[in-house]
Structure 1
């Protein structure tokens, strides 16, 4: 009975906004990023092929993907897990809305991927930066790689909470994310890009297990 109550609590989908529209927009189906961004990614790839060779296209995709994995790691580490000193004491509320709620209700199936209202501005910022760094032409494949990395991140994030992996690597990825939720939230910031935790010293030990430390 106690286990059933805990499972229900972890799966709950609490109301976040008094406004009905805002609250509805905060909940999205887990396939939303795939549906929204896959056509854009493909469009950027085909458009890029009209102005560059396959080698340059692939290079852009790799650069964009690596840029996303770093965004994933540092965004999760510093943006999602930092309470900013915002005016009127809004810092804790802001942190709760963008990530804190996920740690309280980690299995909420409608809040495991970013809503377009959040991911859209990230992509616009990425576009501005890539155009500034790489110019108008090469920015497009870089942006496509960045978006592809984001879609992979959201898909893997949902999968870690609602799937049972069968491969050794899949089990490792899920275990590391469960450690982040149920052992130590100050480690394991790479969701699908798990290698950055080893690079930046925030990886778990091999014998760490979920539940050994309260979060």
Structure 2
């Protein structure tokens, strides 16, 4: 297989569903998270400022953002890379749809960010957890911080596959994600929140023997 053929295979956008509608909904433009969630985030922040002290709102945004980074890390590590024992043998199919396909076609430009049909329920689940923990007033800025983290994550994820980093940090983030795809899929679970891999012992080390290519 030539380099050009390999590149075409990595960029492919395969059909995932027999239903034309479902298959179309599984593909989204990479700016979709920004377009959908930026107005919601701004609205939540402005509303929060009518209920809370600005310093408290800022702290809540940070808490929510950190909450997302942990969700990003543990979701990628355990949800995306685990085959669940679902009824009727659907576990492998479920894992393939939510993440496995991305490792086979990592540069598919229309499946590098979550479609709203997937990200929306995540935000509702987050709100259901945040509200009892932080109360009716602080729940909104915490949720805004959580959403902000998600948007950053999706934008960085697209950029790691199609962007050309200029800074040393940008090159590091891209390199670590490429190592996850092409060196060892059992490490490097933080896409933009790369620090959690160092905290939880899943960071790449130069002296390690490379693992199998992620598939």
Q: TM-score band (shorter)?
A: over 0.9
> Residue 196 of structure 2 corresponds to which residue in structure 1?
196
Asked whether 1:30 is paired with 2:27, we answer: no
The Cα shift of 1:214 comes to 2.1
Partners of 1:121 and 1:95 in 2: CA distance? 18
> Residue 162 of structure 1 corresponds to which residue in structure 2?
162
Q: Compute the TM-score of the two structures, normalised by the length of structure 1.
A: 0.97
> Residue 175 of structure 1 corresponds to which residue in structure 2?
175
> Residue 49 of structure 1 corresponds to which residue in structure 2?
49
Q: Compute the TM-score of the two structures, normalised by the length of structure 2.
A: 0.97
The count of aligned residue pairs is: 214
Partners of 2:7 and 2:59 in 1: CA distance? 44
> Residue 115 of structure 1 corresponds to which residue in structure 2?
115
Partners of 1:57 and 1:138 in 2: CA distance? 7
> Residue 214 of structure 1 corresponds to which residue in structure 2?
213
Partners of 1:208 and 1:119 in 2: CA distance? 35
Unaligned runs of 5+ in 1: none
Unaligned runs of 5+ in 2: none
Partners of 1:171 and 1:32 in 2: CA distance? 24
Partners of 2:10 and 2:130 in 1: CA distance? 38
Partners of 1:212 and 1:133 in 2: CA distance? 40
Partners of 1:186 and 1:125 in 2: CA distance? 27
> Residue 125 of structure 2 corresponds to which residue in structure 1?
125
The alignment partner of 2:159 has SS state of: helix
The Cα shift of 1:206 comes to 3.5
Would the aligned equivalents of 2:185 and 2:213 in 1 still touch at CA under 8 Å?
A: no
Summarize the Cα distance change of 1:207–1:33 in structure 2 as closer, same or farther, 3 Å threshold: farther
The alignment partner of 2:137 has SS state of: helix
Partners of 2:207 and 2:29 in 1: CA distance? 34
